[in-house]
Amino acid sequence: MEDRRFCGRRSRLVLMKTPLAMAVAVLAWFAACVSGAAAMPAGPVVLTVAGDIAAANRPAYDEQRDMFLKHHKRTFDKAFVFDRAMLERLGVREVRAVADWTGPKTASGPLLVDVLNAAGCRGRALDMLALDGFRFRLSKEEVEAREWVVATRAGGRPLGIGDQGPLWLVFDPPGDRPATAKEIGLGPWALFFIECR
């Protein structure tokens, strides 16, 4: 037996003696790959992406379950939710900042485009919502024009509520220079909801 990775999972590769056994093994592997495409969060949900999306890993809006979303007057037919680990598995980009940034000197997390691709966002614009009700809108062109990072950490530690968390949308400038205070301030902090429109 040989240990291999398929669809991000550890699998045992075993020699099959019959075509039927081989077909059953292939179907089981395919089912595991498909079910892995809509991964479920193991930890607390920090981001919900809803609206015009292709993927979903949670039920539709429920007035009893989704009280905080009800408070913000947000409903949806389907959504894709992420915990911090799911976001960081999409890849981590570090954004450095100049010395006049008052907090930690780095922020890190996945690229916004990778988050949107994971949820299958098909919209032409994004409507983002922070915990305090602050709304931030980006067109598809604005998303593609800059290297937006959905920061899950600052200074290497997870962002918390009241500490720019749970997520902070930051801009990574081109080249190998640190972001200015103005660039760092372009995106919202306390981000928790994105609607693809």
Give the predicted TM-score (pTM) of the model.
0.79
Q: Over pLDDT 70: what percentage of the chain?
A: 78
E-strand stretches of the chain: 2-6, 9-13, 45-51, 79-83, 93-96, 106-109, 125-130, 135-139, 147-151, 153-154, 157-158, 167-172, 189-196
Is residue 152 domain-shared with residue 172, that is, in the same domain? yes
Residue 2 has pLDDT above 60, yes or no: no
Band (pLDDT 50/70/90 cuts) for residue 131 is very high
Relative to beta strand 157-158, strand 153-154 is antiparallel
pLDDT at 34: 42
Across the range 137-147, mean pLDDT stands at: 93
Q: Over pLDDT 90: what percentage of the chain?
A: 62
Residue 99 has pLDDT above 60, yes or no: yes
pLDDT at 19: 52
Is residue 102 domain-shared with residue 80, that is, in the same domain? yes
pLDDT at 182: 84
Report whether 171 contacts 144 (CB < 8 A).
Answer: no
Is residue 23 domain-shared with residue 62, that is, in the same domain? no
pLDDT at 36: 42
List the domain range (segments joined by +) for residue 13: 2-37
Is residue 114 domain-shared with residue 149, that is, in the same domain? yes
Is residue 100 domain-shared with residue 186, that is, in the same domain? yes
Total of domains in the chain:
2
pLDDT at 97: 85
Tens of pLDDT, residue by residue over 147-176, are 999 999 999 999 999 888 999 999 899 888
**Mean pLDDT for the chain?**
82
Is residue 33 domain-shared with residue 55, that is, in the same domain? no
Tens of pLDDT, residue by residue over 29-67, are 343 344 444 689 999 999 999 999 999 999 999 999 999
Is residue 31 domain-shared with residue 53, that is, in the same domain? no
Is residue 28 domain-shared with residue 84, that is, in the same domain? no
